[in-house]
Amino acid sequence: MSPAGTADEQLIKALFDDHAGPLYGYVLRLTGDTGRAEDVVQETLLRAWRHPDALAGKPIRAWLFTVARNLVFDQHRARRSRPQETGDEALAVMPADDELERAVESWAVAEAIAALRPEHREVLVHVYYQGRSVRETSDALGIPAGTVKSRTYYALRALKLALEERGLAP
Amino acid sequence: MMTCEEVRLSLGAHAFGALEPDEAVLVEAHLAECVACAAEFDELSAVSGLLGRVGHVSESDVAQVVSPPVVVLDRLLKVSAARRRRSRLLLALAASVVLLAGGGAAWGVLSGSGGEDASIAAEQYAASSPAPVVSGDGPASGAAEDSAVLGKESAKPETGPGAEGAEEPSVTAQVPAASSPPQTARDGGDVRVLESASPRESVMKAAPDVVMSGVEGKVTATVRAAARATGADLTVTVSGADLGAVYRLDVVGADGTREKAGTLEVASAADAVFRATTTMPLTTVVRFELQGDGDVVIRIPVKSR
Ligand SMILES: [Zn+2]
């Protein structure tokens, strides 16, 4: 295997690991179709891989979300032929708007929650998403109430750090 | 009375309002008196507050972030590998055949089977003007100059920046470092070509672009062919194909000869457009074939004109 190929594969894996999760979640919301969401995520990451210059100096997450969103809406329009290697600039041109900004932020939060240790994520799901009390969570998970409380505390502290890492200071 | 340590560990649950009412009262009493614990609670409340503000992040959203579809990664790596194969193919091609265009003229560089036989065919044409008639024989055993002769009576373009070149062909084709330096064959106004491919009659006539299509299942492929001095430029559009699908483009001649014109990787959710070239004269081409994974073949017949 050539060193270039290895570098390409590493870059693709890094792009996937860093962004595929939130990007897929976002696109799935837009399309409501897992197959199409996979296609759009694939092409978006492909464009990022092929055109690192297009990304230079731009927040990569906002760029990816913009390209993905435009790909989704592009597919709604009549199919038309265009060279695959062009159009990236046009795709990435999108005035910053609140909706996109909120989407990027929301998925960064989802990502921060996803980055928590499983036992921390688990108590958050119960206490926050399902609105359960400490006692209810304790019963549901079969762990002592004190453990639920300490895990919730450490989950929030870890989440604060994870959010700050993503530029989302609470 | 609760100690600070006890209160601290309860503050996370309290920030979500998940404490039992009796404990919540005790914690609130402590917070009212303890500045340090109150500051800690403010920090944690800000975090839980942010979760509430971006409220539409759901449990399943988090699950998706945790496990994005690995099939996407597999296909990306496949596309990357296909691109690498194609790059190697192009590199190999570049060492023997280089087509360079500039200033409205194009030079075909064809290297012979042996390094000594290499020569340059400087055939000029403006992209939109009538192309000259080209005839060539296979490589002869004699000197390169005798192996093939290019008729250029009608080669003078009517217009275009290449016009002055027809009078005085300036061979300025750049030779990539990867290829062996070809010799320049120029004899007065005559320009010669050494055809290194299999011996065949090659005739090219001025012709407009030819467009033809083929369908196989849900996939449609269209080839637009523009005749060139040594074959044709091809623009291939593939619609309905799976992302990541790889096709090999073959050009099939009337006598059964088959030439691989390129490898196409479908990397676009929209119609995928590719460019390729063939050295086979368009007039001798009976069909194009796109061969995909397995036995998938899209046949694109060329209508007789
Ligand atoms: Zn205290």
Q: What is the pLDDT tens value at each position of chain B, 305 positions in all?
A: 789 999 999 999 999 999 999 999 999 999 999 999 999 999 999 999 888 777 567 778 888 888 889 999 999 998 888 877 777 766 666 554 444 433 333 333 333 333 333 333 333 333 333 333 333 333 333 333 333 333 333 333 334 343 333 333 333 333 333 333 333 333 333 333 333 333 343 334 345 677 888 888 788 888 888 777 778 888 888 888 877 777 778 888 887 778 778 777 777 666 777 777 787 888 888 888 888 776 778 888 887 65
The fold of the A115-170 domain, in CATH, is: Arc Repressor Mutant, subunit A (1.10.10)
Q: What pLDDT does B269 receive?
A: 61
Contacts of B79 in chain A (CB under 8 A): 46
Given a contact cutoff of 8 angstroms between Cβ atoms, the answer to whether B169 and B186 are in contact is yes
> What integer is the mean pLDDT of A100-118?
88
Mapped onto helix, strand or coil, the DSSP state of residue B4 is helix
Q: Which pLDDT score is estimated for B219?
A: 82
- Per the CB < 8 A criterion, the answer to whether B72 and A15 are in contact is no
Residue corresponding to tokens 């590719």:
B274
**pLDDT score of A3:** 52
Residues in B 33-52 with any Cβ partner in A closer than 8 A:
43-44, 46-51
How far, in Å, are A34, A69, A101 from residue A25 at the CA level?
Answer: 10, 12, 15
Mean confidence (pLDDT) of chain B: 66
Measured distance CA(B103)–CA(B125) in Å, rounded: 10
Asked if the model's pLDDT at residue A127 lies above 60, the reply is yes
List the one residue out of B180, B220, B202 whose CA is nearest residue B282.
B202
ipTM above 0.95, yes or no: no
Cα gap A150→A144, rounded to integer Å: 10
Question: Would you identify the CATH topology of the domain A1-97?
Answer: Rna Polymerase Sigma Factor; Chain: A (1.10.1740)
* Residue of A27, A36, A50, A81 best to disrupt the B interface, most CBs of B under 10 A: A81
Domain with CATH 1.10.1740.10 in chain A: 1-97
**Longest Cα separation, chain B:** 109
Cα–Cα nearest to A130, from A118, A145, A140, A120:
A140
Render pLDDT for A35-89 as a digit per residue (tens, 0 to 9): 999 999 999 999 888 887 777 767 788 889 989 998 888 765 534 444 444 455 5
Minimum-distance CB partner of A160 among B47, B237, B272: B47
Q: Measured at the alpha carbon of residue A4, what is the angle toward residues B275 and A12, in degrees to the nearest 5? A: 80
Q: Does the pLDDT of residue A145 top 90, yes or no?
A: yes
Domain coordinates of chain B in residue numbers? 4-52, 85-301
Q: Which residues of A143-170 are buried (b: 16+ CB within 10 A; e: fewer)?
A: eebebbbbbbbbbbbbbbebbeebebeb
Tell me: the pLDDT tens digits for B252-278?
A: 888 777 877 877 777 766 677 777 778
d(CA A16, CA A22): 10
Please tell me the predicted confidence (pLDDT) of residue B186: 39
CB pairs under 8 A between A and B: 181
* B237 phi/psi in degrees, rounded to 5: -115, 125
pLDDT given for residue A156 in this prediction: 95
Kindly calculate the radius of gyration of chain B based on its CA atoms and give it in whole angstroms: 34
Beta-carbon contacts of residue B282 (< 8 Å; ≥ 6 apart): B204, B207, B210, B225, B227, B231, B232, B302
Cα B10 to Cα B18: distance, rounded to the nearest angstrom = 9
Find the B4 Cα to ligand 1 centroid distance in Å.
Answer: 4
pLDDT at A11 exceeding the cut of 50: yes
Query: Quick count: other Cβ atoms within 10 Å of Cβ B234?
Result: 23
Q: Which residues of B touch A34 (CB under 8 A)?
A: 69
Nearest to A133 among B18, B43, B267 (CB): B18
Chain centroid to CA B261: how far?
13
DSSP string, B243-276: TT-EEEEEEEETTS-EEEEEEEE---SSBEEEEE
Check residue B56 and give its pLDDT: 64
B273 vs A83: CB contact, 8 Å cut-off? yes
**Distance, CA of B269 to CA of A74 (rounded, Å):** 9
Judge: B9–A40 Cβ closer than 8 Å, yes or no: no
